[in-house]
Amino acid sequence: MRLGRLTAVGAAAAGLALIAAPANAFTVTNSGSNSVTGTAKGVTTLTANGQVLSCQTSSVSGTVNPGSSNPVANITSASWNTCDWNGYPASVTVTNPNWQLNYVSGATNNANDTNIAGTITNISNVLVTINGPAGVCTFNVTGSVNAIFKENNGKGGQEITVLSTGSTLTISNRNNFFTCAGLVNNGNTATFSGSYNLNTLAGQINVLP
């Protein structure tokens, strides 16, 4: 099966993680460059405390790891741009990420698989800054997310979609109770959603059972 153009989101971002060891054996090969990039197909969202961080553009990049063990790829760069938090200007800064894309299940010998399950784990070093009504509010986002890879046999481009379900993202290190009041709290759980078109420089990432 083919895991073409590559989180995070990830992310994502940015951002765009699949968990632990897969239930079934698998092998990853790559006919193109092991460098992979992902560009968001549209707006990506981070939801926490009933409020939404929306970013108009996002991209991720990393390296594919051919072989038979997780992670199948490492996301080493992620960005989100033109963002707002429920109408307040916001920004996302990601520093030296090493997020891990892991295979979970769903690989078959069909080159058109559209439901390959995975996770993006080790999400960290994400700083969100909001210019809110009471001042500047900052906080970190850490955790993991579930994702689905669509192989599409290269037709119309391969993609990965980060799911809002099954996320373990958590808010921490909020800078100030007063400037963040009503926006977000430490310990809030968060979800991320977004789809990314993947590019491995004219190649295909193949995931075989």
Token pair 């070093």 is found at: 125
Q: pLDDT tens across 82-117, in order?
A: 999 999 999 999 999 999 999 999 888 877 778 889
Amino acid at 183: L
Whole-model pTM over 0.75? yes
The domains of the chain are located at 27-204
- pLDDT, tens only, 148-161: 988 776 566 788 99
